[in-house]
Structure 1
Amino acid sequence: MTTAPPSRMRPVDRLLVLDDAGPVRRDRVRPETRRAYLYLAPATLVVGGLLVWPAIRTVVDSLTIGCRGVCLANFTDAWSDPLARRALLRTLAWAVALPVVLTAVGYLLAVVSRRVRRAGVLTVVLVAPMALPMLATAVSFRLLYDPDPSRGLVTALLGRLVGSHAPQALGPGLVTFAMMSAFVWAYLGLSVVVFRRVLDAIPSQQVSMIMAETGRRREVYRWLYWPILRRVAALLVGLAGLFSARSFDLLLALVPGSSQPAGEVLALHVWRYGAGPTAGPAAALSVLWFAVLALTVVLPLISFRAQWRMPPVDVTVWDRHLPARYSGLRHRLAQALCVAAIVLWLIPALLLVFASLHADATLASDGLSGALSLASFAEVLGAGGMLGNYLGTGLFALLVAVLVVAFAGPAAYALGWLRPPGRGTVLTIVVVCATVPVQAITIPLVQTLGAARLSGTGQAFVLAHLALGIPLTTALLYGAFGSLSPEQMRQAVIHHGADQAGPARATLTQVGPNLFAAGVLQFVQVWNDVAVGLLFAPPQLSPIGLSLLGQLRYYTTGTGHVAGATVLFSVVPLVAVMVARKQLVRLLMAGVSGNWQAKPTKR
């Protein structure tokens, strides 16, 4: 009896039926649709019950509260309120201006940094603020813009240039600019790193080929750079729109109470007026806010339909694959721009550390020119329960990160590799769910948790973080599973037959770093969180972010103590991001490029 050669054998007892005829294509591996939906079920139950349903309830409330039936009265009432209307317009400005600034400036710095020496210093300095809690960014810029010239660097400089009539950066006239500058400081590093990653991966041979055929530099941008960079720009625009919803922490901690109405956005307005007699207009504003965020994130992702696979490149050393460096005046200008960016990005962080090295009494009497000491750190660490808050927040963030990856990983595997029917629609829903702000669904979510008798418990706090973290993590891991190597997966099936360990090991080998990066990202998000803790944290659990937010009320008289607590609060996420920086870059780029998990090669 003759048997078929190994290349023609089909393991029919497996869930995967392998057709080895013809070239390698992912479409030749056809999993059972039932298996894909089984992987999607846990994440669907959590997100559907705790995110989609509250969002639908918010839409229904915006159309029915105060109405007999269905009407648009809440929308007209919200628009007729001057405070609400200005908050909506500011939110629109944030959603449009910030992505444009981050994309344009990030691309400029990425291009310039590739043509100067020691550009890695610039990259590290720009990336570090992205790991810091938004509260730390707010405290740093509050020190920078402090109205007291002895503490506020910008105030002191403006006073010397303009005199006693210098405008206040945190006053009503400039508060929006102050907030946006802090936001750009926090997230510009992401734009620079992503653009550098893509530009370094473009083969120089293709550039030379197009130049040889056309003789025009603009044709290189038209046929090579533009198709690639527009996908990256779409990713950055979507992420910037998503991050703009997190201006809640920034406004609450940076802007003094007297100036908050002049800079209020929907993140803060909905939180303040979401209950009581203004619940209907607040629900209408929540719907409009959600629509703005969804459009900001979803529309740019349309350009992701085109496929492009970048060659692998070592992300640990960015200076290996550099174009010809500038010479003469252009080189000096490029170096000056990089040095200026480094100095500007170091000032807020150094100012925060410098303020933490002063006692409160010294800052009150002598400002930042007083004697240095470690009294603020000793005071923070000696406060009752502070070390317990640090440990409790870390364990809680670790628990949530593990649970989010456990739910999002199988869902991303089903969408990215198994690819069931309707996956495009499901993925669009996932991306839309990732844009839902927690303030917009607070009331329905509290009611849902109350119906399950979980209100005010630690379980409710965990579930709220799960519902908000699963969609974004699934969307990020989708690109990683979608870029699995079909050849490696097919060889694993051939060599291991009915043994499930082979394909599972091949999958983990390729996406393991992405799963680790997703866990680190979720850990940092939970550690840095303020909004979810403010709304759902039980009394017996006091996250460190809420403790720091409570201390900000004593900022004027306890600046050194607040700065010391902020520095200690920022150490953990900063170390986590620096340790996992390579994996985080690959995770963010998995949806833009192809298989980032291949072994890096030198060109």
Structure 2
Amino acid sequence: MSAPLADPSGAGVRATGGARRNPAPRRRRHFTPARLGVYGFLIIAALFFLLPLYVMLVTSVKPMDEIRMGHLLALPRHLTFAPWQDAWSSACTGLECAGIRVGFWNSVRIVVPSTIISIAVGAVNGYALSFWRPRGAGVLFAVLLAGAFIPVQVMVYPLVRVLATVHLFASLPGIVLIHTIFGMPVMTLLFRNYYAALPQELFKAARVDGGGFWRIFVQLMLPMSAPIVVVALIMQVTGIWNDYILGLVFAGTKNLPMTVQLNNIINTTTGERLYNVNMAATILTSLVPLAIYFVSGRWFVRGIASGAVKG
């Protein structure tokens, strides 16, 4: 019986030796110093933002006797939801004591049309500046972009004079128009950058098939715009809902938004200062933006990642 032939190249020996020399895979350490540092920072940041919310919640369900004792972080001994009811239906927001619910419905009446109109106008502007590119499109886009960085306080007085001239000052259509104007630059920027990231071949193919401006926009662009529409919706709803100065100046006494009435409740100078009612009113005012972020936060991140900041 003949002996096995030796491998002149030594590849088999090297392969065998290499296989023997390979160490066993190391187990990953779950708690490295870097990971512990990241976790520590996240915990501290979470506590920094959650602690005021905790104080607001526990204060809003305490009777005033417990609040006067000065235990700010203590849990309530006698739980009560009367401050929430008072904040909603009977707290004084000036001369009237109908609670903050009046401001809630005023804010809804302001937010809904302002959001829809500003997003619609911004989508059309972004679509036109991305694909049709009229003469002077670059200058127009630069002007719109500059409008997004002009402070609101600079434009308040001129807008008051303009709206008073056309008889829209201190009215619901006037405050809706104001929010639409101030939201249009940012909405145009978002949609323009989103559409600029889409393949030009889709638009060219639609043009070859005979599609016009509105047909391409409605049948091709809008179905692909769901991610950026969600981003624009979150930005506009939260921005308009949290607005104070524009609602105070342009809404009029009959259309004051929730933020203005919250300020009136907290800064009232008549009677006893009810901290539990103030905290309950503050939480009620912030419920809509918080609910939107909790429900559609992942859609916001997806929309941003889909091209909202490209271009």
Same fold (TM over 0.5): yes
Provide the residue aligned with 1:338 in structure 2. Answer: 42
CA distance in 2, matches of 1:516, 1:357: 35
Could you report, residue by residue, the CA deviation over 1:312-331 in whole angstroms, capped at 9, with x for unpaired residues?
xxxxxxxxxxxx98863233
Q: How does 1:244-393 map to 2 (within 5 A)?
A: 328-368=32-72, 369=74, 370-371=76-77, 372-383=79-90, 384=98, 386-393=100-107
- Contact 2:190–2:309 under 8 Å retained in 1: no
Could you report, residue by residue, the CA deviation over 1:157-202 in whole angstroms, capped at 9, with x for unpaired residues?
xxxxxxxxxxxxxxxxxxxxxxxxxxxxxxxxxxxxxxxxxxxxxx
Structure 2 CA distance for partners of 1:574 and 1:356, relative to 1, 3 Å: same
Structure 2 CA distance for partners of 1:467 and 1:592, relative to 1, 3 Å: closer
**Cα displacement (A) at 1:581:** 2.2
Aligned residues: 270
CA distance in 2, matches of 1:503, 1:492: 10
Provide the residue aligned with 2:125 in structure 1. Answer: 411
Residue type matched to 1:362 in 2?
A: E
Provide the residue aligned with 2:188 in structure 1. Answer: 474
SS of corresponding position for 2:253: coil
Provide the residue aligned with 2:310 in structure 1. Answer: 593
- Contact 1:518–1:587 under 8 Å retained in 2: no
Could you report, residue by residue, the CA deviation over 1:44-73 in whole angstroms, capped at 9, with x for unpaired residues?
xxxxxxxxxxxxxxxxxxxxxxxxxxxxxx
Provide the residue aligned with 1:463 in structure 2. Answer: 177
**Cα displacement (A) at 1:483:** 1.4
Residue type matched to 2:66 in 1?
A: T
Q: How does 1:375-524 map to 2 (within 5 A)?
A: 375-383=82-90, 384=98, 386-493=100-207, 496-498=209-211, 501=215, 504-524=218-238
- Contact 2:145–2:189 under 8 Å retained in 1: yes
Structure 2 CA distance for partners of 1:582 and 1:489, relative to 1, 3 Å: farther
Could you report, residue by residue, the CA deviation over 1:397-438 in whole angstroms, capped at 9, with x for unpaired residues?
011101111222211111122223332322221111012222
Residue type matched to 1:330 in 2?
A: A
**Cα displacement (A) at 1:536:** 1.0
1:578 aligns with 2:287: no
CA distance in 2, matches of 1:485, 1:551: 52
- Contact 2:170–2:249 under 8 Å retained in 1: no
SS of corresponding position for 1:540: helix
Structure 2 CA distance for partners of 1:576 and 1:329, relative to 1, 3 Å: closer
Could you report, residue by residue, the CA deviation over 1:568-595 in whole angstroms, capped at 9, with x for unpaired residues?
111111112233323433554535336x
Could you report, residue by residue, the CA deviation over 1:527-550 in whole angstroms, capped at 9, with x for unpaired residues?
111010111111211211111011
- Contact 1:400–1:462 under 8 Å retained in 2: yes
CA distance in 1, matches of 2:145, 2:211: 35
CA distance in 2, matches of 1:474, 1:502: 18
- Contact 1:520–1:576 under 8 Å retained in 2: yes
Provide the residue aligned with 2:283 in structure 1. Answer: 567
* Residue identity (%): 23
Provide the residue aligned with 1:533 in structure 2. Answer: 247
Structure 2 CA distance for partners of 1:469 and 1:498, relative to 1, 3 Å: closer
Residue type matched to 2:62 in 1?
A: H
Q: How does 1:2-41 map to 2 (within 5 A)?
A: none
Residue type matched to 1:568 in 2?
A: L
**Cα displacement (A) at 1:497:** 4.1
Structure 2 CA distance for partners of 1:513 and 1:330, relative to 1, 3 Å: closer
Structure 2 CA distance for partners of 1:521 and 1:503, relative to 1, 3 Å: closer
- Contact 1:412–1:477 under 8 Å retained in 2: yes
Structure 2 CA distance for partners of 1:325 and 1:554, relative to 1, 3 Å: farther
Residue type matched to 1:341 in 2?
A: A
Structure 2 CA distance for partners of 1:489 and 1:451, relative to 1, 3 Å: same
CA distance in 2, matches of 1:509, 1:582: 19
CA distance in 1, matches of 2:196, 2:80: 53
- Contact 1:492–1:503 under 8 Å retained in 2: no
TM-score (norm: length of structure 2): 0.77
Runs (5+) with no aligned partner, structure 1: 1-323, 595-603
Residue type matched to 2:89 in 1?
A: G
CA distance in 2, matches of 1:523, 1:433: 20
CA distance in 2, matches of 1:561, 1:520: 28
Structure 2 CA distance for partners of 1:479 and 1:559, relative to 1, 3 Å: same
CA distance in 2, matches of 1:353, 1:538: 31
CA distance in 1, matches of 2:44, 2:291: 25
SS of corresponding position for 1:420: coil
Q: CA RMSD in A?
A: 2.7
- Contact 1:517–1:587 under 8 Å retained in 2: yes
Runs (5+) with no aligned partner, structure 2: 1-27, 91-97
CA distance in 1, matches of 2:204, 2:36: 52
Residue type matched to 2:126 in 1?
A: A
- Contact 1:401–1:520 under 8 Å retained in 2: no
- Contact 1:529–1:545 under 8 Å retained in 2: yes
Structure 2 CA distance for partners of 1:563 and 1:498, relative to 1, 3 Å: closer
